[in-house]
Amino acid sequence: MMLTHDPHPGVKARAEGARAVFEAAGIEVLEAKHVEVPGPVENARASVQDLVSARGDDITGIWGGWDEPALGATQALEAAGVSDVPVVGVDGQDFALAEIDKGGPFVATVKQDWAAIAAEVAELVEAKVVDGQDPAESNIELPGTLVTAD
């Protein structure tokens, strides 16, 4: 299952990349659900509860486009007593790191380097304000770090 949010270009790009990786690995995506904002934890929890009720034994993993829906998925799995379905998120927020350390379904996240992101934004703003320079690219990718319990 994929928990997505297409109105956000970053989350949409992540979802497209994740789907391509899953397909290349022969992983079938049972369902991709749009997660509403505000309320991503609650919305994802409800979507995963529905999927567990309908197709519980078919679920082999859940990918969250950011950490909040991954948390909602984790809560739904725990409430249903499902312990063998891994959940992954993106952003590396403190609550996600705590969930990973806890040892439940939430097994991984990709931690954003917020300091590097802020520095890049500051450079772009300075170039625009001081030098009148537009960014060379409209999308700049900065690497994240995979975080697991290991």
Whole-number Å distance between alpha carbons of 73 and 70: 5
Task: Spell out the residues 6+ positions from residue 148 whose beta carbon is closer than 8 angstroms to its own.
Answer: 100, 107, 108
Rounded to whole angstroms, the Cα distance separating 4 from 9 reads 11
Q: Going by CATH, does the domain composed of 2-113+143-148 fall within 3.40.50.2300?
A: yes
For residue 139, the one-letter residue type is N
Give Cα 32 distance to the centre of its chain.
13
% of the chain exceeding 70 in pLDDT: 100
- pLDDT of res. 56: 87
Calculate the alpha carbon distances from 75 to 72, 82, 88, 134, 137 in Å: 5, 10, 13, 44, 39
In whole angstroms, what is the distance from residue 83 CA to residue 93 CA? 22
Distance CA 55, CA 11 (A): 25
Which pLDDT band, with edges at 50, 70 and 90, does 9 fall under?
very high
Q: How is residue 119 written in tokens?
A: 């520095």
Length of the chain: 150
Domain boundaries, the chain: 2-113+143-148
Confidence of residue 133 (pLDDT cuts 50, 70, 90): very high
pLDDT at 138 over 90: no
